[in-house]
Structure 1
Amino acid sequence: MIKNILKVALLCAITIGFVACTDDATTEKKTTIKIGATPVPHVEILEFAKPLLKAKGYDLEIVEFTDYVTPNIAVNEGELDANFFQHLPYLKEFNINKNTKLIKTVNVHLEPMGLYSKKIKTLEQLKDGATIAVPNDPTNESRALDILVQKGLLTFNDVKLKTVVDIKTNPKNLQIKELDAPQLPRVLDEVDAAIINTNYALSANLNPLKDAIILESKDSPYANIVVVKEGNENKDYIKALNEVLNSNEVKKFIASKYQGSIIEAF
């Protein structure tokens, strides 16, 4: 009888210990946040944020990407905790096209898109039949074409996202060349002008405030955002990441580092 009681007690102790260990394992705090980003300015901002996150108990592991597709797929598949490189219109279009479940957490900064050229210094010097290169992904192409609309160079049919086929009037007979966004700085010798995302312009040593012939308005809706997989937005480590990237310290860093070529959006 005593032996049976002892066996039961031992079994209970083992079971309780196993459950306790299991609970400890499942409740163990995550201490490393893995985030994907394109180099300039995203990685630079994240590098500045590292010690701020460290003070909150998290190490920030930054993975660099040079395209706009891979970091979204990596977050959706759980290989990354978050990414930081895109704006909300691009994210929405990506979710539709790729059937991903990604969501925005916070705005961080705005990179005004600009028109650059090695052949002209002013818009008035743009000749009839000139070739202008633009990004070929749907949201950034529409955004780039909006800049030309604002300057009266093109008008478009009423569509959600503008493309070359939607051009209604083209007084200067401009030739619009659609290219992958990272290629745009490299074709400036081949085209009359190119509309380039600021991160790629900065990577090519182009200063938006000094070198852009036209610069997107600061009230643009295309703020760069932190993105996570749906369901992870309320995790403690994501909240910590959001708090740091929307902190006064980061705001001051953006203002000091980029001198208005990039502006905080929170």
Structure 2
Amino acid sequence: MKFKTLSIVALATLLVSASSYGFDKDHPVLKFSKSQGPYSELFISGVQPILEKEGYKVEGIDMSDLLQADLALNDGEVDFNVEQHTAYAKNFNASQDGHLVTLTPIPTVPAGIYPGSKTALDSVADGDVIAIPNDASNTARAYNILAKIGWIELDKSVDPSKVTKEDIVKNPKNLEFVEMKSLNIPAVASDFAFVVITGSVVYNAKIDPSTVLAQEDVAEHLLLQLVVHEKNKDAIWAQDIKKAYQSAEFKEYLDKNNNGLWFVPKY
């Protein structure tokens, strides 16, 4: 009798666990835009196994860049991607007549100040030259980090997500800023006193994340997101991917595999 009771409890527990995922029998194959960056790799290693245990088959479709990935998602060639933050998705929708929506924030690699020819923040000197990413959203992130550590002061009347070099109101050390393509910064880091590098570049350049000298406070609009087409936001399969990212199993994976690279949002 005791054995039967335990069996019933175990079965009930299993059913509760299983019911947390719907498994969409009408959409058993999930296609996503795959990149060479950390976010696709994190999905493949940490989230895909969870979905496969639920019965889904997952296919990664290689994409050359995020614009191509979003166009494919908007046209229905893939089901989702995990390579962008809310700000980028909004810009895509506005410029490309897109219909993309975000379902949940996902672990994000913060931008940070890394060593160039100098390895300590307190060694900054008058006239030091700092490399800065030149794309709009990451340029703003870089100047916000420099303001955070007190090297510059920004015009408080300007939206922090849109600040540029022109919005610097105080620069007591007369620092110089060279804005350049993010991907090129690691290769020329020693030409600068310090460099600001974004998360995916840190990962792809195989830079030790523990060498970061200062990191951004990741703003909500810069958290990476699970993104789908608007028409699929309530689909069973889309909600199952969301649940996988927010699951205890994925949290356990991150606890074992986060060497300081990832900022993990709270769900």
Q: Say yes or no: TM over 0.5.
A: yes
Aligned CA distance change for structure 1 residues 165 and 63 (closer, same or farther; 3 Å): farther
Aligned CA distance change for structure 1 residues 174 and 64 (closer, same or farther; 3 Å): farther
Residue identity opposite 2:69 in structure 1: P
Q: Which residue of 1 aligns with 2:120?
A: 122
Residue identity opposite 2:188 in structure 1: V
The 3-state SS of whatever aligns with 1:115 is strand
Aligned CA distance change for structure 1 residues 126 and 262 (closer, same or farther; 3 Å): same
| Aligned counterparts of 1:101 and 1:64: Cα–Cα separation in 2 | 21
| Structure possessing the higher radius of gyration over alpha carbons | 1
Aligned CA distance change for structure 1 residues 54 and 207 (closer, same or farther; 3 Å): same
Residue identity opposite 2:43 in structure 1: L
Q: Which residue of 1 aligns with 2:15?
A: none
Report the aligned-residue RMSD.
2.2
Q: Which residue of 1 aligns with 2:174?
A: 173
Q: 1:134 aligns with which of 98, 121, 132?
A: 132
Q: 1:69 aligns with which of 51, 67, 70?
A: 67
The 3-state SS of whatever aligns with 1:182 is helix
| Aligned counterparts of 2:166 and 2:250: Cα–Cα separation in 1 | 41
Q: Which runs of 5+ in 1 are unaligned?
A: 1-26
Q: Which residue of 2 aligns with 1:17?
A: none
TM-score (norm 2): 0.80
| Aligned counterparts of 1:186 and 1:64: Cα–Cα separation in 2 | 25
Q: 2:110 aligns with which of 109, 112, 118?
A: 112
TM-score (norm 1): 0.80
Q: Note the C-alpha offset of 1:65.
A: 4.4
Q: Which residue of 1 aligns with 2:264?
A: 264
Q: Note the C-alpha offset of 1:227.
A: 0.9
Q: Which residue of 2 aligns with 1:149?
A: 147
| Aligned counterparts of 1:159 and 1:191: Cα–Cα separation in 2 | 28
1:43-122 maps to which residues of 2 (within 5 A)?
Answer: 43-48=40-45, 49-65=47-63, 67-122=65-120
Residue identity opposite 1:29 in structure 2: D
Aligned CA distance change for structure 1 residues 52 and 72 (closer, same or farther; 3 Å): same
Aligned CA distance change for structure 1 residues 199 and 236 (closer, same or farther; 3 Å): same
The 3-state SS of whatever aligns with 1:263 is coil
Paired residues in the alignment total 238
Tell me the percent identity. Answer: 26
How far does the alpha carbon of each residue in 1:67-125 deviate from its partner, in whole angstroms, 9 at most, with x for none? 44322222122222111112222322333344322111111113221111231111121
Residue identity opposite 2:154 in structure 1: F
| Aligned counterparts of 1:115 and 1:41: Cα–Cα separation in 2 | 19
